[in-house]
Amino acid sequence: MKRQLLFCLPLLLGPSLLADIVPETAAAYIDTALEREYAAAQTPRGMRPLPVNLPPEADDATFLRRACIDLAGRLPKPEEAKIFLTSASPIKRAVLTDALVKEPAAAEARFRMLAETFRVKDDAAVITWLRQAALDDRPYDQIITYMVGEGHMSRRDKGNAFRTAVETAYAVVGEDMHCSQCHDNAYNDHVQMEAYQFAACFTANDEGDNIRLPSTYWYRDGKPGEQVKPKLLRLSREVPPSVKSGKDQRMLVAQWLTKESSRRFVFVEALRVWSSLFGMPGQNVDHTIGGSDPVPSWEEVHENSDIPVTFRKCYGAQHPNRVPWVGLEPSSLKAPNVEVVLADVFRHCGYRIGVFQRILARTRAYGRMGVDPHRSGYMVPAPHIRRLPAEVIWDALSPEKSSQLPQVPPLEHPLRMLGRGTREWSDESITPISHELACFMMNSADMELAVAPGPADRSTEDLFLSILGRYPNGLEKAIAQQHRNEAPQTADADIAWALLNTREFMFRP
């Protein structure tokens, strides 16, 4: 009865009052929707949903490591682990996640998420502004307004209106328009004319920047070479407002993108934040054989990088890690499905990513043991087991922290091999498992530096706490002690090397 009341309360009060509900209640609202939809997905059609077996609660060490990686983008600190693992407080998990969300490291992790979304590369002013926005946990609609409305996306793309339009559509409202640039596609919601019209919204309004249909255009809604007037995408039954050419053209686009009645930017960002903590259906580890496959650049995909008339291939659907933010199979239940619930909670967080992360970390789902990621079609009420982010692995091995590196390090830099993307495409970074990665973890100079003896000998307990975030069990202690007796000079480095090459280190549970 209590769980039903927690679920119904936000619906009875109405969305305007949800912001006043404590994080535990908002988290319970999400849990109820998750468990209801999960039970329905596990039940054969036509039958009443039956209770299902949910993953058990994660132990404290697992939860500590998961929360530090997901929220703060780092491994647990040994002293932090000792305090958390020995504490008997019933609210220690909530206290931990609240503290992690406020860390500067958490702000850097939020910055990376935003930089991936908006493909930030080397613009120092944008990097500084976006880092401060992440630190202040500014509302996401303000971030969209800055990045799109003030022209930073257009400058990033060097005036390529098509590139800005297509990537903005995907990143902000979840629309994949890559195929629509060159032809009408029966499996796409937008035709070629709409792609050209939306691209015209991002021109610099000079006569030479007018968007015209290609000479090969052969559909009935336009003529080859005809100038295209700017027009916003139609995302629902509601007709979008008109856009008139002028100096405020991009700002009008940003205002439309963040219009609350559209709900799409809220929906997409809520799922993106959810994915950072839980993973998404169909978002799996890239099992590359010989190393991370190079991501093609925009120029490689398009024959004409200024106004892409002809595609060599339809790229959007083939990208190995681009998540279809919009299009998950909706629930057949009368109650709001999980995606709608997440969007509602994110809206009433004031569009603040850190506040939303704090609520997601309070859910029962986040506190469960991780599950096999090879599940699709519905949201699982537990995190997916996923490989560590590239930055967490690098920061554990090198004194040169990832936050100090360029947004896109050189191709030969290990951070690229670990999965840092080129920022050519939104949400591009991957987490590959490959022979190249295994060789790097076993034999690289960075690994030798990471396991080098410190000024004082490190105990087996400290090594386990600093690398795996837990105490060693009896068998592990015995094996480590035996090795210390046999090779006392290299024991610390050997044990650290062995722990860094375990699956337990490489994956977040």
Segment among 91-100, 150-159, 287-296, 415-424 with least mean pLDDT: 287-296
What are 454-500's pLDDT values in tens digits? Answer: 656 789 999 999 999 999 999 999 999 999 999 999 999 999 999 99
Segment among 9-18, 243-252, 345-354 with least mean pLDDT: 9-18
Q: What percent of the chain has pLDDT over 70?
A: 81
User: How far apart are the C-alpha atoms of 47 and 35, rounded to whole Å?
Assistant: 17
What are 103-136's pLDDT values in tens digits? Answer: 999 999 999 999 999 999 989 999 999 999 999 9
Model confidence at 257: pLDDT above 50: yes
Question: What is residue 273's predicted lDDT score, i.e. its pLDDT?
Answer: 96
What are 23-47's pLDDT values in tens digits? Answer: 899 999 999 999 988 888 777 777 7
AA letter at 269: E
Question: What is residue 248's predicted lDDT score, i.e. its pLDDT?
Answer: 78
Model confidence band, residue 266 (pLDDT cutoffs 50, 70, 90): very high
Q: Give the H or E element holding residue 38.
A: helix 23-41
Question: What is residue 285's predicted lDDT score, i.e. its pLDDT?
Answer: 64
User: How far apart are the C-alpha atoms of 22 and 19, rounded to whole Å?
Assistant: 8
The two tokens of residue 219 are 């559909």
Question: What is residue 240's predicted lDDT score, i.e. its pLDDT?
Answer: 85
Model confidence at 20: pLDDT above 60: no
Question: What is residue 216's predicted lDDT score, i.e. its pLDDT?
Answer: 84
Segment among 64-68, 246-250, 396-400 with least mean pLDDT: 246-250
Question: What is residue 325's predicted lDDT score, i.e. its pLDDT?
Answer: 67
Model confidence at 4: pLDDT above 50: no
Model confidence band, residue 51 (pLDDT cutoffs 50, 70, 90): confident
Segment among 46-50, 71-75, 188-192, 419-423 with least mean pLDDT: 46-50
Bin 10: left if φ > 0, else alpha if -120 < ψ < 50, else beta: alpha
Place of tokens 């958390």: 84
Model confidence at 205: pLDDT above 80: no
- Total number of residues shown for the chain: 509
Burial of 4 (0-12, 13-18, 19+ CB in 10 A): exposed
Question: What is residue 509's predicted lDDT score, i.e. its pLDDT?
Answer: 82
SS3 387: strand
Nearest-5° angle of CA 394, CA 398, CA 404?
Answer: 75
User: How far apart are the C-alpha atoms of 249 and 258, rounded to whole Å?
Assistant: 15
What are 432-457's pLDDT values in tens digits? Answer: 888 899 999 999 999 988 888 765 67
Model confidence band, residue 370 (pLDDT cutoffs 50, 70, 90): very high
Tell me the CB-side half-sphere exposure of residue 13, using CA atoms within 13 A. 17
Model confidence at 291: pLDDT above 80: no
Model confidence at 310: pLDDT above 60: no
User: How far apart are the C-alpha atoms of 427 and 113, rounded to whole Å?
Assistant: 8
What are 312-338's pLDDT values in tens digits? Answer: 455 444 454 566 666 554 444 445 689
Domain ranges for the chain: 2-102+334-386, 120-261, 451-508
Question: What is residue 311's predicted lDDT score, i.e. its pLDDT?
Answer: 41
What are 272-284's pLDDT values in tens digits? Answer: 999 999 988 766 6
Residues in a beta bridge with 387: 507
Cα–chain-centroid distance for residue 336? 23
Q: In 3-state terms, the chain is what percent helix, strand and coil (to 5)?
A: 50, 5, 45
pTM, entire model: 0.89
Among residues 137, 82, 95, the alpha carbon closest in space to that of 114 is found at 137
Rounded (10°) CA dihedral 114, 117, 121, 125: -40
Tell me the CB-side half-sphere exposure of residue 303, using CA atoms within 13 A. 8
User: How far apart are the C-alpha atoms of 65 and 505, rounded to whole Å?
Assistant: 10
pLDDT average, residue stretch 172-189: 81
Residues whose CB falls within 8 Å of the CB of residue 218, separated by 6 or more in sequence, listed in order: 224
Distances (CA, A) of 23 to 13, 18, 363: 16, 10, 9
